Amino acid sequence: MKRKFILLTLVIATLIVPANLQAFESTVEEELQTPWEGFGYNQWGFARESDGNTFKPWSDDLWKTTTERILAIKPSLVRLPVIRDWFNKDDDGNNLPIGTYNWDSKYMQAYFKIMDLYKEHDIKVMSGFWGVGYNGEDYKQFYTTDECAQLQADLIEYLFKTKGYDKIITSYAPSNEPLGVGISYEDWSTMIKKLYAELEKRGLPTNFLSGADSWSDWIWKPAQYNADQLSAYDFHNYLNDTPDDTYNQLYNRTIETTFANYLANVYKYDNSNKPVHVSEMAPIGVPFIDWPVADAPAHCRIDTYEYALGFWDYGIQLARSGMASGLAWALDGLEQNKNAGMWNNAGTYGGMTLRPWYYTWQLMCRYFPRGAKILKMTELEGRKDIRILGARIGSEDYSFVAVNRRMDAQSKTQSITFKVDCTKPLYIYRFNRNSYGDGAALSLPYEKITDQNLSTGITVEVPMEEGIFITTLEPLETNPSETQSTLTIDFESQDGYMLLGDYNKGIRTYVGSNPRKRAPNTSDNAGYSEILINDEYNPRDCFSTIFPLNKILISEDFPLLNIQLYRSRPAKIAIALHVQNEDRLLGYEFEIPHREWRELQLNLTPLIGKTLDYIIIYPYRDSATTPSLDTESLIFDNIFLSNTENSPIDLQEITTNNDQQYRQILDIDFEYLNSFVKVIPVNSSIMSSIASNPKIQENNPSDKACQINILTNDAGQDLSAQLNLYPFVQVPESNHNLFFSYYRPTGQSEIKIVVNFLSGEKAVGHFSCNEKREWFRYGLNLSNHVGQIITSIDISPNLNYSDRLNVLDTSFFDNFIFSTEEVSGIEYITNNDISVTAENGYIYIEGVKNMPVYLFSVDGKLLHFAENVNGSYSIPTENGVHLIKIGNTSYKIINF
């Protein structure tokens, strides 16, 4: 059954910004003149059994589903190479001589089935071999032979003349990653020249050859040495191997700048404006791309929200750089049980469920089509977090995409205005934690805008770690959302609804097994609204949403809403209705019994004639929580409208308190890097990683810590790293002191910690480490910032590094935590028997031997200076935080 994707209003997140709200206007900085051949993907030539490798015939159902998804994606270019074994062996697996081919093999018939689909819908293909030798390999002794050229030309001739694919095969890269299998460039160059000559001899086209399908200087060597044979260039690009490097490459816009440099190098040798394809790409390092890594951070796992947002980011930067195409790795998994894909047709690792990155990439493929003019849009100067891309399609249509990576802490939400000469209706898609695809629908929900257009300008909000897509092109289904007066949702299928969870408040919403298959509910499945009970948020205001995909008109014919509810423990719950043009949230709140299905019927008669947008489930409305509870679930099922009364209940107003938007828990221990914290070095002189604890001891028994290295010859650089928090964290009233642990394998250091608040204020702490190979614990008093929102924490691990230029400096940080523990009023400097204490308005120093003493305020203002201090010394000070410098070696924050 085809699913409908239209959603006229998503009230959970405001889409359109009021006209009087100031916003950044993104204008066309440049209309790129390099060729654009669109976004697409890599694909394996047949379906696979559950082992992820064995050939599986296309069943009718699998082929139907795959076809629907491919046509929903509507790629502009697909890379679909072949394996020599598929057609140069007989059915028993015996090698055949070159010139004798088994085009009727099951492998080639499956491959032709895919190619015929692309031929029917004019979807262009990059063809070639995975390897010109058997078993997908490249044999050096065979690579440069005339027989190799004959093998390839025979394949091309059959595909062009017999199968009629000459109109869709627009590129041909002879072999996969020759650099990676030890082929020299000279051998590759010889091979491509021989193939070109063989095609010319046969009178076959030569204007579709591409190369060299590798990386490094092989990106521009083909332009330097083989421009006469090639009509396009292609290379592969994955991100660096470590999770931090992967993240930083995207965040620092390395993709855009690096690709622009690659293009300049190609055009230095061949300035004929040939297309340059990124024929394999993904926002991930090679160690993570094909097989799941259990402890990988979220942005390195292909089934996560973060990965999907990374694909948008990568695609935007790629197109802005002037590249001709970006072909994602991959469509639906590959041989050797490789899990790369928007889903996995082998049925493993989630199987046919669409992953979140399908939904971002589907929009890029469909609405930035081949032949469009890429618009390099202006972005916010000095900001790394906002990505913007546009396209003009023909003379009348436009597409825009914007992503807010929110690594810079200037803003929680960014408003962006788009304005070009176009009066066509707009379709707006939003990708966020509440709307990132349900795994079955073929597109994200969208909103159709007719009362505003691009000519008058449209302003949209792009909140942190979210994206928005705007296009004038028609959506997947152009019929307006159907209005119906009936509603039936039983969770036995995935048709007709979406389940959404309030992600920022810890809600998990899903379909699971019926926990009690007895009357009145004997169905197999039910919906779950599951919440983790802790102090991070008020569970009373956490909710799940049931979103019908069609508008529901509340009518006289069916004015009663029925729902079945179940809990394993008694608790107060609530059911609420979001109704168009209704200011109040109406529903019913009550104490539900446990371990039995409760049937509830709500009287919607007062709402007749209005439209039901969605149903809200509050799984836990008790005012007090019990610390012993881990999770609480409300299970719901059999939601339908009827006209048969069953003790209907009148609607009441449901009150909510959404003021507490932020977590008040901070507990970063680096045991795993997840979406709640990301470590971002300020520049390339700072390197960060999650490493093993260098010394497990009582002060820090953790297994992991954050390692920060400095190596530079520039004393003027900002040598810091930033902990970016997601979601933001609010300073609580009760435990407002921020503590952290610090370790150095070598020597003394002065540390600076800067806590950045959403308001723009900062809290600064200076600390000293005077002993090596010991964990120290320090605290920063944030009592003056209670209630403020922390967006990030800057760490400067060694303010004295200017004295150690070109020497690797290493520090470790761990256990950033809010605590009720008081920040010590007495601090000690344990260096040369010096001690520093504070009491009754004085700072007392003992054990000084003919050394200068400085007293600074935390903002660096010199408050006191004394030369050649010897023995005991005291300094009168006001209450507060101060910095002491004794000689050139000791720095200390004194809190009292």
Distance CA 398, CA 391 (A): 6
Q: Which stretch of 1-5, 520-524, 604-608, 881-885 has the lowest confidence by average pLDDT?
A: 1-5
For the ranges 407-416, 512-521, 765-774, the maximum mean pLDDT occurs at 512-521
Lowest mean pLDDT of 89-93, 103-107, 707-711, name the range: 707-711
Burial class (CB in 10 A: 0-12, 13-18, 19+), 820: exposed
Tell me which amino acid residue 784 is.
N
Place of tokens 């909140």: 463
CB 302 within 8 Å of CB 396:
no
Query: What's 432's DSSP letter?
Result: B
CA distance 797 to 812: 9
Q: What is the mean pLDDT of residues 411-415?
A: 63
Phi-psi region of 776 (alpha: psi -120 to 50; beta: other; left: phi over 0): beta
Q: If residue 660 lies in a helix (H) or strand (E), which one and from where to where?
A: none
Per residue in 102-139, is it b (16+ CB within 10 Å) or e — as a string?
beebebbebbbbbbeebbeeebbbbbbbbbbbeebebe
Lowest mean pLDDT among 126-135, 327-336, 857-866: 857-866
Confidence of residue 526 (pLDDT cuts 50, 70, 90): very high
**Is the entire prediction scored with pTM above 0.85?**
no
**pLDDT reading at 580 higher than 50:** yes
Mean pLDDT of the chain: 84
Indicate the burial class of 697 (C-beta count within 10 angstroms; 0-12, 13-18, 19 or more): exposed
Nearest to 855 by CA among 801, 805, 892: 892
Confidence at residue 259, expressed as pLDDT on a 0 to 100 scale: 97
pLDDT at 369: 98
Q: What is the dihedral of CA 381, 385, 391, 397, to 10 degrees?
A: -100
- The torsion angles phi and psi of 791, rounded to 5 degrees, stand at -100, -30
Q: What is the secondary structure of 367-431 as a DSSP string?
A: HS-TTPEEEEE---TT-SSEEEEEEEETTTEEEEEEEE---S-S-SEEEEEE--S--S-EEEEEE
DSSP lists the bridge partners of residue 793 as 723, 755
Report the 10 Å Cβ neighbour count for 268.
11
Instruction: Please determine, for residue 572, whether its predicted confidence score (pLDDT) is greater than 60.
Output: yes
pLDDT at 183 over 70: yes
Confirm if 563 and 575 have CB atoms less than 8 A apart. Answer: yes
Report the candidate in 591, 573, 568, 593 with the shortest Cα–Cα distance to residue 515.
Answer: 568
Q: Are 433 and 420 in contact (CB under 8 A)?
A: no
Lowest mean pLDDT across 37-51, 88-102, 168-182, 756-770: 756-770
Examine the pLDDT at 82 and tell me if it is beyond 70.
Answer: yes
Residue 843 reports pLDDT greater than 60 = yes
Q: Mean pLDDT, to the nearest integer, of 359-372?
A: 98
Is residue 875 pLDDT above 60, yes or no? yes
**pLDDT 10s digits, 464-514:** 889 999 999 999 873 444 567 888 888 886 566 767 665 445 577 778 889
| Tens digits of residue pLDDT in 34-70 | 999 999 999 999 999 988 899 999 988 899 999 999 9
What are the structure tokens assigned to 480, written together?
Answer: 């307006």
Of the given ranges (219-233, 353-367, 820-834), which has the lowest mean pLDDT?
820-834
Question: pLDDT at position 435, please?
Answer: 86
Return the pLDDT at 227.
98
Task: Name which residue leads in pLDDT, 15 or 86.
Answer: 86
Q: How confident is the model at residue 626 (pLDDT cuts 50, 70, 90)?
A: very low
How confident is the model at residue 863, as a pLDDT? Answer: 78
**Would you place residue 441 in the very low, low, confident or very high pLDDT band (cuts 50, 70, 90)?**
confident
**Cβ atoms 186, 229 nearer than 8 A:** no
- For the cut 50, the answer to whether the pLDDT of residue 667 exceeds it is yes
- The full length of the chain comes to 896
In 3D space, the residue among 557, 613, 548 whose CA is nearest the CA of residue 582 turns out to be 613
DSSP letters for 814-862: EEEEEESSPPPS-----BTTBEEEEETTEEEEEEEEEEEEEEEETTS-E
Q: What pLDDT is attached to residue 549?
A: 65
Whether 570 has a pLDDT exceeding 80, the answer reads yes
Sequential DSSP letters for 536-588? TS-GGG--EEEEESSEEE--SSS-EEEEEEE-SS-EEEEEEEEETT--S-EEE
**CB atoms inside a 10 Å sphere around CB 166:** 16
Confidence class of residue 12 from pLDDT cuts 50, 70 and 90?
A: very low
Q: In what order do the strands lie in the sheet with 749-757?
A: 677-681, 721-730, 789-796, 749-757, 762-769
pLDDT at residue 893 tops 70: no
What's the rounded Cα separation, in Å, for the pair 508 and 544? 8
Q: Of the spans 129-143, 813-827, 832-846, 856-870, which averages the highest pLDDT?
A: 129-143
- Locus of tokens 């050859």: 209
Higher pLDDT, 657 or 1: 657
pLDDT of residue 170: 98
Q: State the DSSP code for 281.
A: E
Q: Is residue 372's pLDDT more than 80?
A: yes
Q: Which of 87-91, 761-765, 884-888 has the lowest mean pLDDT?
A: 884-888
What pLDDT was estimated at residue 101? 98
pLDDT greater than 70 at residue 857: yes
User: Higher confidence at residue 873 or residue 629?
Assistant: 873
> Which one is predicted more confidently, 734 or 534?
734
Task: Specify whether the CB–CB gap between 637 and 518 falls below 8 A.
Answer: no
* Biggest CA pair distance of the chain: 97
DSSP for 730-767?
A: EPPSSS-EEEEEEE-SSS-EEEEEEEEETTS-EEEEEE
Nearest to 721 by CA among 674, 750, 678: 678
Percentage above 90 pLDDT, the chain: 47
Report the SS3 class of residue 242: coil
| Gap between the Cα atoms of 163 and 80, Å rounded | 15
Name the one residue in this structure whose structure tokens are 């996969």: 176
Residue 623: predicted pLDDT: 61
CB atoms within 10 A of CB 781: 17
